[in-house]
Amino acid sequence: MDNTELHYITYDPEAMWTDMMLAYIEAGGDVLYPGDEKEILLRGVQQMFFLAFAGVDNALRMDTLRYAMRDYLDVYGQKRNCYRIEAAAATSTVQITFRATGEAKTIPAGTPLTQDGETLFTLVDDVAQTGYAGTVTAEIVCSRTGSVGNGLLNGSEMQFLIPQDAVVSVFCIADAQGGQEAEDDETYRERIRTHGLATVTTGPEEQYRSAAMAVSSNILDAHPMNIGAGGVCVYLLLADETGSAALIEAVKEALRPTDTRPLTDNVSAALAEPVEYTLKVQYSIGTGSSSATAISDAVAAYTEWQDHTIGQTFDPDRLKTYLYNAGCMAVVFANGSNFNGSEVKRTAIEEYQRCKGTITLEAVTL
């Protein structure tokens, strides 16, 4: 049992064994030694008590937002009308050109296609060929859930894995969109925490943010703004901007006037405006004081803090702090570093903007 965490039942096995031995001796039993048949029997009873206590404690912990995991967290969220974002497969549309064969056939739903030989898509519905030359459009869906399918772009040439004699060409006529990973426990836990106002249709800022964030795990941050009388714009920050137009429409659809927002609000959605920065970092380290992994982790931590929140003030000094904590002895920003084309210094940005930067590292002697 991890005593650093909150537990509802104490079930330390050694303390339990001490109490059992004391009770046995007080009831008239002799002192038991390892290997004694009675000692072995009591050890079995101790194990049963231990497992029972641990099971009850775990059940109580799984009914709390702090400790619930996996299916238990799903149940906790469902009781509060907040559901986990499930994994989804990317979809797109293809145009299939046929040559004249004089024979009508059907390409069945589920027939696989590919553009690169690795990522497979399948037909959503049967495709009928009449035997005459012509073209048809068909919906396709990625065979795997997640963002892997979003890389299929408009204009990509595809081919059937099972040869189709009448098919002349297959071209994608729309970017693949909608693929997303299942929401992880920690992200879902935080969304449940902020979901309290999600079903209150009075239009508070947190309601709009919560409803927008619930659309897709691809949305890292959402920031609603009052843009005039009766006007609200929800600015989005995406982990991957591929298929952003469809995601923006999905957010607008989720903010329905029937059950989510006031009828009097005119709601729009847009991507947060990027403000770009470039940091060329030169650093030096003492012997054995740091490692390449620690340096990379420091940069990753800074990027997550700086780039993943809408309206986050640009603060290059925080990057220096992370690098010093990782073991660097000296850190400077070399020539070519800039923030939006200007000097690198702490700078506030507009609340509808987000920082988006490039950081390069160079180990030198300073």
- Return per-residue pLDDT of the chain as tens, 366 residues: 566 778 888 778 888 888 888 888 888 777 777 778 888 888 888 888 888 888 888 888 898 888 999 899 999 998 888 889 889 999 999 999 999 988 889 999 999 999 988 899 999 999 998 889 999 999 999 999 988 889 899 999 999 998 888 999 999 999 998 888 888 999 899 888 877 655 555 568 888 888 898 888 889 999 999 988 888 999 999 988 887 888 899 999 988 888 788 888 889 999 999 999 999 999 998 766 668 889 999 999 999 999 999 999 999 999 999 999 988 899 999 999 999 999 999 999 999 999 999 999 998 886
CA angle, 158 then 161 then 165, to 5°: 85
Domain total in the chain: 4
Is 137 within the bounds of a domain?
yes
Residues in the chain: 366
Does 45 share its domain with 114?
no
Domain boundary pick from 240, 271, 302: 271
Which residue, 137, 172, 207, sits at the end of a domain? 172
pLDDT of residue 1: 55
Cα–Cα dist 325/102, whole Å: 74
How far apart (Å, rounded) are the C-alpha atoms in residues 170 and 19? 75
Same-domain check for residues 114 and 141: yes
pTM to 2 decimals? 0.61
Q: Per the domain annotation, does 79 fall within a domain?
A: no
Q: Do 340 and 278 share a structural domain? A: yes
User: Helix, strand or coil for residue 112?
Assistant: strand
- Same domain? For 331 and 353 the reply is yes
User: Angle, nearest 10°, between helix axes 185-193 and 70-78?
Assistant: 20
Q: Which of 263, 242, 357 is nearest to 308 (CA)?
A: 357
Q: How much is the pLDDT for 136?
A: 94
Assess whether 102 and 147 both reside in one domain.
Answer: yes
Give dist(CA 170, CA 201) in Å, integer: 47
Q: Are residues 296 and 321 in the same domain?
A: yes
Consecutive H or E run containing 358: strand 353-363
Are residues 328 and 297 part of one domain?
yes
Q: Do 299 and 319 fall within a single domain?
A: yes
> What DSSP character marks residue 352?
T
Query: Would 323 be classed as within a structural domain?
Result: yes
Q: Domain for residue 54, yes or no?
A: yes
CATH classification of the domain holding 97:
2.40.30
SS3 content of the chain, % helix, strand, coil (to 5): 30, 30, 45
Q: Which helix (H) or strand (E) holds 323?
A: helix 316-325
Q: Are residues 284 and 355 in the same domain?
A: yes
pLDDT for res 58: 87
Q: 95 has which bridge partners?
A: 137, 171
Residue 254 lies in a domain: yes
The reply to whether 209 and 198 lie within a common domain is: yes
Residue range of the domain that includes 336? 274-363
Last residue of a domain, one of 61, 81, 100: 61
Question: Sign of the C-alpha dihedral, residues 196, 201, 207, 212?
Answer: positive
Distance CA 340, CA 226 (A): 26
pLDDT at site 52: 87
80: Cβ contacts below 8 Å, ≥ 6 apart: 192, 195
- Whole-angstrom CA distances from 97 to 21, 37, 48, 53, 169 are 83, 81, 69, 67, 5
Are 338 and 279 contained in the same domain?
yes
Q: Is residue 262 part of a domain?
A: yes
CATH label of the domain that carries residue 258: 3.30.300
